[in-house]
Amino acid sequence: MGARVKVCGITRRDDALRAADLGASAVGFVFWPRSPRYVDPEQATAIARDLPPDVAPVGVFVDPTVTAVQRIAAQVGLAAVQLHGDEPATLCDDLPYRVLKAVAVAGDGTYEAAARVPSRITVLLDARDPVRRGGTGRTVDWGVAADVAARRRIFLAGGLCPENVGEALRTVRPYGIDVSSGVETLPGRKDAGRLRDFFEEVARA
């Protein structure tokens, strides 16, 4: 089986369904109000309702409270929670969701940061950006990412696009990949052609 693909920053139903049709295993809804890809829970609920059962709706949070995660997850019907701030990876220990924890790729410090994340939680490697918190379009050091991927299950993010995803997959060999800005025309608006090209490159790799 190839790498799982999560298409993040979904704000439109058509984009979510197109990603699902192309083979996405998950779509991501950003619930951080400062993000240009922010989607309100009501809109995300309507989109998630139409997803096929084998496509997981994932909520992306930045430094949330447990109460906020519980409320939004219950409303939207989230299958997983992605923590993309400075919160501890164990924030959702008592909640019945799969958890992804973003770790910034920053040289040798990446290994220690990833090692602090409990093994039951999936690490998502992304570019460091304390302001935008993802969706930067910047690639990470794939050599460092490959070393982490050899030790544990990871999702690879950071500047992935149709032009580089094949090389990224062959170099890093991650469990999954996360794409957002690399298949967009504008933040939160996916380009149908680039999305199709992305999945074709994933299949080739």
Q: Exactly one of 92, 126, 161, 178 is catalytic; which is it?
A: 126
CA angle 12, 164, 60 (to 5 degrees): 35
- Report the 10 Å Cβ neighbour count for 67: 8
Task: Please compute, for residue 12, the number of CA atoms within 13 A of its CA located in the half-sphere on the CB side.
Answer: 13
Annotated catalytic residue 8: yes
Rounded CA-CA distance 177/171 in Å is 13
199 phi/psi in degrees, rounded to 5 = -70, -30
Contact yes or no for 203/2 (Cβ under 8 A): yes
Annotated catalytic residue 126: yes
Quickly count helices (H) and strands (E) in the chain.
7, 10
Catalogue the active-site residues.
Answer: 8, 126
